[in-house]
Structure 1
Amino acid sequence: FFSQMPPKAPPKPCGVEFPEDSEGKRPTTEINRETFAVAIEAIRPDLAEKVRAEKKWRFKYTKHVVDQVEASLQTPEAALDVAKAGLQYLHYTMEFLRDDKPYSINEAMSKFTTGTFQTGVVQGTAEPRNEAYIPYKGGVLRGTALKTQVDKWVRAGVIELSCGQALCQIADNRKWLDLSDQVFVMLGASSAMGPFPLLMALGATVVAVDIDRPHIWKKLFAICKASPGKLVFPLKQSQDTYASEDELAAGAGCNLLTETPEIRNWLLSVESGQDMTVGAYAYLDGPLFVRISVAMDAIISDLVDKRKAGVAYLCTPTDAHVVPAPAMAHSSEILRRSPLWQALLAMCLKGPQAMRPNKRKPVTAENGDEFYVCDAIVPDQGPNYILAKRLQHWRVMITRSKGCVASSNIAPSTATASVVSNKSFALAYQGMPQFKPIEVFQEETSSAVMGLLLVHDVRNVNSAANPNTELRNPLEVFTDSSFHGGAWRCGYKFGCIGVGSVLSALFTKYVLRTYLALYNGAQVAGWSRALFDIAMYASAPTSNNLWDVAGPTIGFFQWLAVLEVVHSLLGMVKSPVGTTAMQIWSRVMLVSAINYVPAVQGSDNKFLWAMTVAWCITEIIRYSYYGLGLYKINVGLLTWLRYTLFIVLYPTGVAGEMGCLYKSMPGMMDAPPSGANPIVSYFLRPILKNSLGYFLAIVPMYVVGLTTLYGHMLAQRKKVLGGGGGKKVKKE
């Protein structure tokens, strides 16, 4: 019976839609491509022809987007002409369907000017805090801790200098953070990346527009009531007709796609007489993102023209942006210093998956100014996503040219629930941090940061968002205060590291961690055996020398540690290659010297006792700490031992090493060179012909090495175990 039932008919199109073609379908590719063609045709008809001739638009659109950005940099007027042409085409081509009748967006917004909503209000009761804060890695950054972390982000290349300066200005200026005089309209108020919680916490009036789903409004009500802010929202009926909060939540909300003109009508009247900033935060997948972005743009356009509203957007880093020259230079430096495995992977990947350097030639404008464009577009996002973001760029530039504040800061890659629900994206996000300086943020961090940058743009008259701030080209409004998460300064193009990120995540999860766990476990076992042998020898000496008992084990596991240089070289661990190689070399050199000179192998050599015991205890603790850390197992006692015993063990071990090396000098000179021990024969013997070589070469090496390592470990001890300003994150 059920198999004979006719398939369920698709819902009738209504609201904002792509136009219908001659076959009764509503395709997206043609409109998408033609929008870019019409936009660029305003300044470069030749490029428009190339866009229209592109047969594989779904896979080749990225080049044309970059071409458009670079062409727009020729003059400020060119950028605005492109923006105006693109938006005009969308407003006259995209349709608004009501009662089965199609209208262009422009016609619909002109025709439906009377319908509206009732207004609901919820007032928060909390005391205002007027303090900048950023949730980060389980804690909350405030004050000095916030500025310290911002400085680290800037130095690493995770954010731009202008962004760091903006965040520090906000942290230092509490008056800016009193938003009781500000009205923000949020189209898509419940967006994971939107600044609703922060705006509420700072006492703003937020006019919230979101879909009519009770659970959404209950969440917004709860956030508001726990804050000093004021929430204004659309209702189907007068607020006094609702008997409970549940009923109020059920009656709240509207539909941006189908009630676009009515939302515009309501917003033109709400909070009358006050300046407002309207932000577009709603997101839907695929073609729906274009539709809802066009709907929001139709609303915003009228609010800008009729209420002189400012605008606010969240830019994606996965786009083509004008970037500072130092960002391009830094990306080249990071590429040069990238781990060997990335270079090998880049050699193996070909075609669409190829990893290409993040580098483009500068664009020279008509007046001689040079601009750098970073192509960080991820092709898999698709042309609908890039069109939706591009029309937002166009609206920002046009709004700013009309004398209104236009805030459009770049948000970083963020592990929102919608993104990580896709297993491929989730794996890519896990592996991306292997490509320095990329950092993937949690949504609470991104939301707070973008909210603070919005406040900065609204408050600071010198921000790039302010129309009175001079820019060389309107596209530079997106350059300022960029929190791009490292996309601009990555050595490889951000859009090309997807496969590498996934492979890195899989390798780390299923191969690397297991290998490193086995390696660290083997080292713990080896050094434990050596310490056991030393202890047994000390309690019951035999005719054998101390080195005869423990030397073979120590030598084997010390030579095994040469693998750590390979680990560092391949980027398997974070240790610097040079430092690691120097530490391993000094140990291997000592083992070779002792093996070469029997006179220093005896139990009467107190330097040998000091060195071997210090080595064993240090390595047992160190490798145990590393091994457990791979599985995020934190043993308090082990951590304390790791960052405390070195105070005694490091100088003890170094004293033993230097003493053993000094005592071995006569024996090295007396014995003939041997190919079986090339380190002694061809390195140590030429240096240690006399005491002068020892004091000129060996002593300075140890003094510098110990001082550097000791200072580093003391700093790490302060950071890990506390003792002042070492903590980075303040927890509430």
Structure 2
Amino acid sequence: MTHGVSFPADADGRRSTTRAGRAVVADALRPVDPVGALGAEQETAWRSGYVLHLRRLVEAGVAGPDAWLAIADAGLDAVRRTLVVAADDGSEAPLSSLATAPSKRTLGTIEVLGEGAAQVELVLPYRGRELRGADLRAQLDAWVARGVMEPSVATAVGLVIDHPEWLRLEGRTVAVLGAGAEMGPLAALLRWGATVAAVDLPRPALWERVQRTARAGAGRLLVPFDASASEDGSFGADLLAEVPEVSDWLAALDGRLVLGNYLYADGGTHVRVAAAADALATRLIAARPDTALAFLATPTDAFVVPREAVEQSTRAYSERSGAAKLVGRPLRWATRGRLLHRAYPPAADPGISDAIVPVQGPNYALAKRIQRWRAAAARRDGTLVSFHVAPSTRTRSVVKNRALAAAFAGAHRFGVEIFEPDTANTLMAALLVHDLSTELPVHDHPWQDEAYAAVHGGLWRAAYEPRSALGLAAALGYASART
């Protein structure tokens, strides 16, 4: 039986993710693009047609900061009005009720102290090596030169290299939602000696692994614990059903809180946990206004990108090899321009990088968009927000999809680098440390906040529009896997 944060049930008891997702996107567009809102409302093939409407959300916001923030506010409001809290008896309450709902149990805290020595400098694992100091700076510069990341990444990580004392995040407690996630910062932060509050489902195997990671590190791990439960289910909490409990537990911890959302789930559950995490953030900031928020955005989304990215992509398209030009022309002709076309109009300023991957589905896209809306709204309201585009990474949740795994295997042929989990999560943890340790730049438009220190893997600066090369990358990836 569905319980906790959920999609609303219709008269027949069905909980349609399509109906809810379409309504949220339409409501988000309505304040600035009523025609786009109508288009989303009337989309009859949502599971394939959603890509157009998710891109339109970005296009409509480029007009100005007010438009961007109006979309974010309307989208978050639509999530609160559309999703519900389902009780075991089948009744439903508004999602907004979680702001004041009482806890049904009190979570205690188990503390696990690391037994290792803290890393006193930033070390990045990469292709079997451990990069530090000058070698790490050289790799960052190489990534920037190849267009794998924005130049601001090298600047930010360079400051962390210069200030290894930042790594411990003294005086802060980082709450990691999705403690077992491969892309989360838990392992890196514990290696550096930080304090981490871990939140994840009550699964014994998961908590055994997390606690082993803590003991191998040098930090302080805080685990929610229910002394009244049986031993097998004593650690962890189900955020879908326990937003008040998790909020009250985190609010009582020492140190300045950082709420980091690294949650992932399949299908519609991803939207549910994104909405639950957003309700948790709202409640926690009300209780502790100095709480900071942290997010990792997926690169397979639509983003506004700076003129410099457009220029590098344009150069890459103009300078592609003779063989690429020879193959590309008939492919574009045969597919009516769908394959291997340029990423941007040459003079675009800014450009829009549309790297939405249809196979990931509308629920994944909406869940990640909820995080972007919250980041923009919270930053506007004065909350410290660490938000970065993270690279495509060979996590278990991604490579179990054969089509995506094949596309990843062939991506390097189109200027895109796919990262290994230990490289990606350490790099993104270093950016989190930077953001919590220094004053972040102030930008004129919220899209520039999203583009700041983005590690997109090359999707923004490669020669071709990502979807126009995805199928060929997958075909080449399948071929290489067979050889």
Please state which band the TM-score falls in when normalised by the shorter chain: over 0.9
**CA apart distance, 1:158:** 0.7
Q: Is contact 2:99–2:282 with CA below 8 Å preserved after alignment?
A: no
Q: Is contact 2:386–2:432 with CA below 8 Å preserved after alignment?
A: yes
Aligned-partner Cα distance in 1 for 2:345–2:101: 47
Alignment of 1:150-549 (within 5 A): 150-237=140-227, 247=231, 250-271=233-254, 274-308=255-289, 309-339=291-321, 340-341=323-324, 343-344=328-329, 346-347=331-332, 350=335, 354-360=339-345, 370-436=349-415, 438-461=416-439, 463=440, 469-509=441-481
**CA apart distance, 1:111:** 2.6
Q: Point out where structure 1 has 5 or more consecutive residues left out of the alignment.
A: 1-11, 364-369, 464-468, 514-732
Q: Is contact 2:106–2:226 with CA below 8 Å preserved after alignment?
A: no
SS of alignment partner, residue 206 of structure 2: helix
Aligned-partner Cα distance in 1 for 2:445–2:120: 35
Over residues 463-512 of structure 1, what are the superposed CA-to-partner deviations in whole Å (9 max), with x where a residue is unaligned? 2xxxxx421112221100011100101111112322101222244455xx
Aligned-partner Cα distance in 1 for 2:75–2:347: 25
Across the aligned residues of Structure 1 and Structure 2, the Cα RMSD in angstroms comes to: 2.0
Identity %: 34
Aligned-partner Cα distance in 2 for 1:348–1:296: 46
Aligned-partner Cα distance in 2 for 1:421–1:45: 39
Q: Is contact 2:108–2:226 with CA below 8 Å preserved after alignment?
A: yes
Over residues 635-675 of structure 1, what are the superposed CA-to-partner deviations in whole Å (9 max), with x where a residue is unaligned? xxxxxxxxxxxxxxxxxxxxxxxxxxxxxxxxxxxxxxxxx
Aligned-partner Cα distance in 2 for 1:283–1:169: 30
Q: Is contact 1:310–1:399 with CA below 8 Å preserved after alignment?
A: no
Over residues 525-562 of structure 1, what are the superposed CA-to-partner deviations in whole Å (9 max), with x where a residue is unaligned? xxxxxxxxxxxxxxxxxxxxxxxxxxxxxxxxxxxxxx
Amino acid at match of 1:433: H
Q: Is contact 1:362–1:373 with CA below 8 Å preserved after alignment?
A: no
Amino acid at match of 2:431: L
**CA apart distance, 1:333:** 1.4
- Higher relative CO (Cα under 8 Å, sequence separation at least 6) belongs to 2
**CA apart distance, 1:181:** 2.3
- Indicate the structure with greater helix content: 1
Amino acid at match of 2:284: L
Aligned-partner Cα distance in 1 for 2:79–2:347: 31
**CA apart distance, 1:360:** 4.6
Over residues 161-196 of structure 1, what are the superposed CA-to-partner deviations in whole Å (9 max), with x where a residue is unaligned? 011111112112122223232210011011001111
Q: Is contact 1:345–1:500 with CA below 8 Å preserved after alignment?
A: no
Question: Corresponding residue for 1:70?
Answer: 59
Larger of the two Rg values belongs to structure: 1
Q: Is contact 2:407–2:477 with CA below 8 Å preserved after alignment?
A: yes
Aligned-partner Cα distance in 2 for 1:486–1:361: 18
Aligned-partner Cα distance in 2 for 1:299–1:452: 25
Aligned-partner Cα distance in 2 for 1:413–1:211: 25
1:361–1:46 distance in 2 versus 1, CA, 3 Å: farther
Question: Corresponding residue for 1:31?
Answer: 20
Over residues 571-598 of structure 1, what are the superposed CA-to-partner deviations in whole Å (9 max), with x where a residue is unaligned? xxxxxxxxxxxxxxxxxxxxxxxxxxxx
Aligned-partner Cα distance in 1 for 2:345–2:334: 20
Question: Corresponding residue for 1:561?
Answer: none
1:352–1:299 distance in 2 versus 1, CA, 3 Å: farther
Amino acid at match of 1:44: D
**CA apart distance, 1:140:** 1.1
Over residues 91-147 of structure 1, what are the superposed CA-to-partner deviations in whole Å (9 max), with x where a residue is unaligned? 122011123221111124423346331111111132322211111111211111111
Aligned-partner Cα distance in 2 for 1:311–1:89: 21
Instruction: Calculate the TM-score normalised by the size of structure 2.
Output: 0.94
**CA apart distance, 1:237:** 0.8
SS of alignment partner, residue 100 of structure 2: helix
Q: Point out where structure 2 has 5 or more consecutive residues left out of the alignment.
A: none
SS of alignment partner, residue 49 of structure 1: helix
Amino acid at match of 1:268: A
Q: Is contact 1:29–1:58 with CA below 8 Å preserved after alignment?
A: yes
Question: Corresponding residue for 1:646?
Answer: none
Amino acid at match of 2:279: A
Q: Is contact 2:148–2:457 with CA below 8 Å preserved after alignment?
A: yes
**CA apart distance, 1:392:** 0.2
1:349–1:432 distance in 2 versus 1, CA, 3 Å: farther
Pick from 104, 108, 133: which aligns with 1:143? 133
SS of alignment partner, residue 497 of structure 1: helix
Amino acid at match of 1:354: L
Aligned-partner Cα distance in 2 for 1:93–1:361: 41
How many residues matched? Answer: 478
Q: Is contact 1:346–1:356 with CA below 8 Å preserved after alignment?
A: no
Amino acid at match of 1:188: G
Amino acid at match of 1:456: H
